[in-house]
Structure formats: structure tokens, C-alpha cells
Amino acid sequence: MKGVIFSEFLEMVEEEFSLKIADRIIEASNLESGGAYTSVGTYDKDEIIRLVTQLSQETGVEVPALLCSFGRHLFGRFHENYHHFFDGVETAFQFLQNIEGYIHVEVLKLYPDAELPAFDYESSDPNELVMIYHSARPFADLAEGLIAGCADHFGETLDIKREDRSHDNETCVRFVLTKRGG
């Protein structure tokens, strides 16, 4: 996993909780990297899982909830650092539908060793978008947080329904997004 995700995560922990907690989960996680992440580096994805798990223990907040709020935080950071992906995009659905065919494609150009999920889209109703998440990694909660962050960003309220279809080594989650009041 790219260092950018780790540094953003630790930054969030420092901001939302404290430097002390950040230091403590790093220490407790017994990380190979020692918790020193640079955005261009690549690290074991287990480190993020251990960090999140430690944070959960530290704070008593469930891992999914933590990943989800990290997703919201991350989306805000993405907006700051990659605002060109937002040019000409007016709705959350528009943005979300750009991930698979455009955003993550560009991400892969920037970080050729990035490990990205795949998304399938289903859409028949303008007020509904179905996104199916496929990944070798268990980050469906992160995805949900990113989706929620995206809706926040566009000032929309989305009902997010999840249907887990994961099996063996693949995480597969069907997100049904419905615009509220739309």
C-alpha cells in the first residue's frame, strides 16, 4: 500500500485523537517501517490493518467505523491534493463513476505499484447508483467512507446500502447509493 495512505491515516489520528495515541498505536503495532512513511514509498497493507486495529483498541471505536471515518478524511485530502479530478464534475454520482475508468487509472500512472480496487457500476435510475467493489484487500469500509466523503463534498445526502458478496480471497461489496430527497 502506498505511503500516502499511511501518512494520511496517522495525520488523521493526530488530528482527531492525539499525537500520543498516534505514537502509542505505532509502538503497539510493532511495525516493520517503524511508522516512518513517505508518500512515494510502498508498505505492507497489514501495517494499516494493525494500526487501525490498535486504534480501535485504544479508542473503543469499531474497526469498520474507524476505516469509514478515515475514508471521509481521506476524501477531503484527495480534494486538496488532486483537485484536477474534480474539474467539471458537479455531482457525487458523476465523480464516483469516474473512479474506475479515470481516477484510479491516473493514480496507477503516478504510482505504478499501487494496489487498487475495481468497481462495477449499475445505473438505471438517475437517483440511484450501484457500485460493486472488488478487491484482494478488505477495504470495503474505507470505500464506504470515501463514498460518504464524496457525498459530503458535493453537499449531497446519499443513502448507502451494502450487500456483502465476498468469498475466499476476494472482497466483494455491492453498494446501492440513493440520493435522498432527489
Partner 1 sequence: MSDLELLKRKLQREQSARKQAETLIEQKSRELYEANQELERFNGELEVRVEEATGDIRASNETLGQRVRELAALNRVASAMNSVIELDRLLETIIDVAKEVMNAEAGSLLLKKENGQLEFQVATGPGGEQLRKAMIDVGRGIAGQVAQTGEATRIDDAYCDHRFDRSFDEKTGFRTKSILAAPIKVKDEIIGVVEVINKIDSEAFNNQDLQLFESFAGSAGIAMENSRLFEQTKALAEDLREALEQERRLSIEKDKMRAYIPKHVVDNISRNREEKLALGGKSIRASVMFTDIKGFTSISEVMEPQKVVDFLNVYMTAMTHIIQDERGIVDKFIGDGIMAVFIPADEDDNEALRAVQAGIRMQGRLAELCGEWHKTQTDVAQLNMRIGINTGEVVAGNIGSETRMDYTVVGDNVNVASRIESICRPGEVCISNSTYDKVKGSITADKLEPVLVKNRVQPVLTYSIVVR
Are the beta carbons of 13 and 22 closer than 8 angstroms? Answer: yes
Report the C-alpha gap between 71 and 90 in whole angstroms.
20
Residue 73 binds to ligand HEM (criterion: CB under 6 A): no
Q: 132 and 120 in contact (C-beta within 8 Å)?
A: yes
Contact 158, 148 (CB under 8 A): yes
| Among the residue ranges 15-23, 46-54, 77-85, 158-166, the one whose residues contact ligand HEM (CB under 6 A) | 77-85
Which of ligand HEM, partner 1, none binds 7 (CB below 5-8 Å, type-dependent)?
partner 1
d(CA 59, CA 32): 23
C-alpha cell at 33: 517501517
Q: Contact with partner 1 (CB under 8 A): which of 30, 32, 36, 170?
A: 36
- Among positions 138-177, residues that touch ligand HEM (CB under 6 A) are 139, 142-143, 146-147, 150
Chain contacts with ligand HEM (rule: CB under 6 A): 1-2, 4-5, 78, 82, 85, 96, 99, 103-104, 107, 111, 114-117, 135, 137, 139, 142-143, 146-147, 150
